[in-house]
Chains A and B, each alone.
Chain A
Amino acid sequence: MQEATFLILTALASGSQHGYGIIADVREISAGDVRLRPGTLYTALERLRADGLIAVDREAIVDNRLRRYYRLTPAGSRRLSAEATRLRANATTALLRLSPARDAAS
């Protein structure tokens, strides 16, 4: 799973959000490292919708502009959970191997 996809799913994990909200949230989650642009975001959303990982929750017209709110589907939650577990396992392994205990042993 690409980092942008992971972050989009993470942004939706706490509740439904619209496109601009996802962009802002992804920026916050990544501490400003990932700045999604609208084209990239909507390509990812289109793919995630087609794969059944997210769905449209509701729509609203705000200042005469369409806002569509997206939410995670159960399949999306499972996928995000699996990916987060995998990343955590990799990160744990990396940290263990970098730990001073290992340096002392070698």
Chain B
Amino acid sequence: MKAKKILVKGVEAIALGALEANCKCYFGYPITPQNEIPEMMARELPKRGGVFLQAESELSAINMVLGACAVGVRAMTSSSSPGISLMCESFSYIAALELPAVVVNVMRGGPGLGGIEASQGDYFQAVKSPGHGDFHFMVLAPYNAQEAYELTAKAFELAEKYRNPVMILSDAILGQMKEPIILKNLKIKEYPKNDWALTGAKNRPSRIIRSLFLDSQELKKRNLKLKNKYKKMEKEILFEVSVENNEKAILVAFGSMARIVKEVYFILKNKGYPVGFFRPITLFPFPVKPIQKILHNAKNPLKFLVIELNCGQMVEDVKLAVNGKAEVISLFYPPSVIPFPEELERKIKKWIK
């Protein structure tokens, strides 16, 4: 069968990815700019024997996700920045309970209610810690509709593989833009859940999933277990790199900003400027080794220019990866006003003269 190519919004691609992964439950509460996700799930899930439910609040929605995941059902929610903040309490519980939930954040401007245009202001929240306690989501950042479709589907597999929540970090511009995607069988793997899911204790001893550990040694062990898991996740690191080792500057960006930056990279490259391009796709775990490899192979002293639609967040992770071995510069654009490639080109040129 010929693969089907369709023109869809980025957020629709996310919903299609979830359906491709056979997601069975969607719980959510409306917010711009991601409403096409619940719209599509509301239409499609009942047809496929799944459940769509619009909860009375974000907190309620995420706890429904927690419940569904606890009994071993593939479940997700989606929201945008202010709505994601409302879910943070339960993110912490989901991580503590090691539940394979998939959460989509289609970022908009902040802080507070902010605006409805694109932003990358939730990088810290997504990557560092989306709640109290010592935990991480795995964070995937698509930069076009095809990736949004494929990474969302893959998120369900990864969530089960590591028994850890996975976040898809998108934004208003990627979400609202239409691009062609090719629908295909992504062969998303299902991991057995029969050794932990709460499926009823008939013919087996009962089991409890809990996050309260009053025994200090036990809690310590739990945290170390999580830490080991995050270490293992490094196998899943994804990134895009265009480097030939003779560069003097590497442009680093993710998500929607990486689209603008890549355009500038093409332009500068054509004009003969010695620049490279690096795009983290997994934001947690962050592609530290690939950045160190660029440094190791570089024939010239390097500068890393980190371009973001926030006041400088990912730049800190780049600095940690570079570890003082090169200059790292933040070219920051506060949310909502996305620079045109022409404008960004001028700004970058100043740094690579």
Chains A and B come from one and the same complex: no
Residues of B at under 8 Å CB distance from A? Answer: none
Residues of A at under 8 Å CB distance from B? Answer: none
